[in-house]
Amino acid sequence: MDNQAIAKIQFLQHQAASLLLYQSVKEGKVGIAFLDLLQALRYTDADARDCLQAYGSYFQSLAARNQNWEEYLITQILRSDNPFTRLAQQLEFENLPASLVAAAQHDLQALQSLYKCSSVSLSEWVQAVANLSVSPVVWHEQQDRVGVEAQFIASLQKLENWADVVKDLAAYYRQFGMGLFAEYKALRWQGGEFIGIPYADPVKLNQLVGYESQRETLQKNTEFLLSGREALHVLLYGSRGSGKSSLVKGLLNEYGDRNLRLLEVAKSGLKDLPEIVEQLRGTPQKFIIFVDDLSFEEDDDAFKALKVVLEGNLTARPQNVVVYATSNRRHLIREFFADRPAARDNEEIHAWDTMQEKLSFSDRFGLTLTFEPADQKTYLQIVRHLAAQAEINIKQEDLEYQALQWATRHNGRSGRTARQFVDFLKADLAVFGLQNYAANT
């Protein structure tokens, strides 16, 4: 390599090292591979094996994300979690500390220099260092992306000086957030931290039939949340397999593009609920904390934590968070006959008050939606609806007969049973064909 190329590589390394706020850009797998490649190019060995291996790692990191270097870098800017992006979510640009704004402008200029070092340039440098007859393959994936993030990427690509976009960038963070909440629509609380879920359940609301009034009420309450109004915590109570969990998950696919996020919290994580809620406060996204199959034992710490979130304490409740819980039990705390007060009880003076505290816990949810067991009419309605969506073309009487037989042999009539039957039937027809199906019926 000539001295000019070496000086360019050294300049890029200094630019990366000078970042004040956006260090996360260089800490991901792609960023690390990029810097390792620059290091290998600058200090190559005699046969350039380290350089070639570094380029292979860089190529693979881009392929794994299905992004080219330029798009990766801008995406990381939009999702970076740092003091500037956190504060920009909460304050108008004019109220941001001048030093933070200046640091952000400095980083944007440095990142623009890294952006201009394309994979094509890196490939050509590797070719020169390794004395290859042709340059290594360049990862390039052109995708037709849509949405606000894609628009921002396009605008940055055309801008001469990225420091000029700092105000627009702050407005982006204020509207769409940053970090994991900007990257993922579905998350879970696990091990004391938020974990993004890359492949959320794809169930859609139009796939769910038989409980239209419950769905309408839940959608209306979710609209309240999205509009910034006072939304209620909701308990979805009823028989197993009635679609309670699917209904909550379907909300994400209906409203995810309107800044709705679904945060799954297992029972073991409920003790952290007050901490979770405080971390969600002030973010631009709207959160449904989803607790599935809720029930408690006596003196359960999770019960006390959830009670604080539902009823509140001295800390004001954030307007962007609600709890949607499902349960097969109307009374969420297990009660035994031995718990009921009797004349012989002399342990507790107000034993009836304790029992009423247990029985009334579900009343602390603002809304309770009840899902009755599916009767035959509802069950067959669900089967017909799902079969139509699956484009299963058999006689209706055959479909209904087989559906009833399936319910008898398996888990009884429910939305879950209907889904399992239709999935099995669709696979059976696809693999073995209609003639085999007719022979078996």
12-50 tens-digit pLDDT: 999 999 999 999 999 889 999 999 999 999 887 767 889
Q: Is the Cα dihedral 124, 125, 126, 132 positive or negative?
A: positive
Q: Residues 175-221: pLDDT tens digits?
A: 888 889 988 999 999 999 999 999 898 988 887 887 888 999 999 99
The whole-number pLDDT of residue 144 equals: 62
The whole-number pLDDT of residue 436 equals: 58
**Encoded tokens for 172:** 């982006």
Q: Which amino acid is at 316?
A: A
Q: Which long-range contacts (CB under 8 A, 24 or more apart) does 210-214 make?
A: 210/243, 210/374, 210/378, 210/379, 210/381, 210/382, 210/415, 211/242, 211/243, 211/247, 211/371, 214/247, 214/369, 214/370, 214/371
Is pLDDT larger for residue 70 or for residue 337?
A: 70
Q: Residues 141-174: pLDDT tens digits?
A: 766 666 677 777 788 878 889 999 999 999 999 9
User: What is the share, in percent, of the chain residues with pLDDT greater than 70?
Assistant: 85
Asked whether residue 55 carries a pLDDT value surpassing 50, the answer given is yes
Q: Is 297 helix (H, G, I), strand (E, B) or coil?
A: coil
The whole-number pLDDT of residue 270 equals: 85
- Please tell me the distance from the alpha carbon of residue 24 to that of residue 331, in angstroms, as a whole number: 46
The whole-number pLDDT of residue 300 equals: 60
The whole-number pLDDT of residue 328 equals: 78
Q: Please, which pLDDT band fits residue 329 given cuts at 50, 70 and 90?
A: low
Instruction: Indicate the pTM of the whole model.
Output: 0.78
Asked whether residue 267 carries a pLDDT value surpassing 90, the answer given is no
Is pLDDT larger for residue 313 or for residue 134?
A: 134
The whole-number pLDDT of residue 241 equals: 76
